[in-house]
Amino acid sequence: GENVEQHPSTLSVQEGDSAVIKCTYSDSASNYFPWYKQELGKGPQLIIDIRSNVGEKKDQRIAVTLNKTAKHFSLHITETQPEDSAVYFCAASKIGNQFYFGTGTSLTVIP
Amino acid sequence: GAGVSQSPSNKVTEKGKDVELRCDPISGHTALYWYRQSLGQGLEFLIYFQGNSAPDKSGLPSDRFSAERTGGSVSTLTIQRTQQEDSAVYLCASSLLRANEQFFGPGTRLTVL
């Protein structure tokens, strides 16, 4: 089955700096890679996703890059703000199937 | 519109008791997933219902865990003879069939004493 590893487990950045979270996956058949943000006491919410036929996707301050050959993908948050503080999860899946999640990154943005 | 809802939000039970957790998916979503989130861990897949197909139960950790989905809508996850290691947040998600995005509910925090 699929195995997703995520690093780092915790990340602290100064407000305005960039944050990068990295994930690797094992199943080359995985073709969909979402990133979820989970705030305390809430369920995860999708913030950005990428399919395997695309190398990069950007949405305002958030971007995701995918390297299919190396089987890794990364989340980039620029100009971080205190409200970006949360736990972020990456996942890998074959479209329409269950997600395999990483273990999460607790991001703290220091004002 | 209404999102995925789960009940109860919190459940405290004694070891050995049975518990039922409920999930109401988004109306019209035919795919439904259960995940478990243990403290400091990622989300662990438990079971997946896809339309009228047989559910994918490959993630259930033991035969004490079962789930059903009645009428293609509401789902109930049942844990029999609960153990302390069952303590976790149980998350439900739904999606359109064969679609990408899964929408998550707020979860049920289960504590087994």
The string of DSSP letters for A1-17 reads ---EEEE-SEEEEETTS
- C-alpha dist (Å) from residue B38 to A87, B54, B69: 14, 27, 24
Mean pLDDT of B10-15: 97
pLDDT in tens, B47-103: 999 888 889 999 999 999 999 998 878 999 999 999 999 999 999 999 987 667 899
Partner residue opposite A46 with nearest CB, options B43, B98, B101: B101
Looking at this protein, which amino acid is placed at residue A99?
Answer: F
pLDDT of B79 reads: 98
Residue B41 has pLDDT above 80, yes or no: no
- Region of poorest pLDDT, from A81-90, A101-110, B33-42, B103-112: B33-42
Closest CA–CA distance from residue B107 to any residue of chain A (Å): 6
What pLDDT score does B53 carry? 85
Note whether A61 and A83 are within 8 A (CB).
no
Cis peptide, bond prior to residue B8, ω within 30 of zero: yes
For A5-16, how does the pLDDT look when each residue is reduced to its tens digit (9 = 90+)? Answer: 999 999 999 999
Tell me what the mean pLDDT of segment A70-88 comes to. Answer: 97
Q: Chain B residues with CB inside 8 Å of A36's CB? A: 104
Phi, psi of A83 (to 5 degrees): -70, -5
Which of B31, B42, B103 faces A104 most closely, judged by CB atoms?
B42
pLDDT digits (tens, 9 = 90+) for A30-54: 999 999 999 988 899 999 999 988 8
Which of A105, A80, A88 minimizes the C-alpha distance to A19? A80
Q: Which residues contact residue A102 at a Cβ distance below 8 angstroms, ignoring those fewer than 6 apart?
A: A4, A5, A6, A23, A89, A90, A91, B42
* A35 part of contact set with chain B, CB < 8 Å: no
CA distance B13 to chain A (A): 20
Return the CA Rg of chain B.
Answer: 13
Q: Is the pLDDT of residue A96 over 80?
A: no
Interface contact flag, B91 A44, Cβ < 8 Å: yes
Q: What is the pLDDT of residue B52?
A: 81
Instruction: Tell me whether residues A96 and B99 touch, CB distance under 8 A.
Output: yes
Rounded Cα–Cα distance for residues B91 and B105 (Å)? 6
A105 touches B at CB < 8 Å? no
Residues of A in contact with B29 (CB under 8 A): none
Q: Which of B29, B44, B45 to mutate to test the interface with A (most CBs of A within 10 A)?
A: B45
| DSSP state letters, A37-84 | EE-TTS--EEEEEEETT-SEEEETTEEEEEETTTTEEEEEE-S--GGG
Q: Do A98 and B99 touch (CB under 8 A)?
A: no
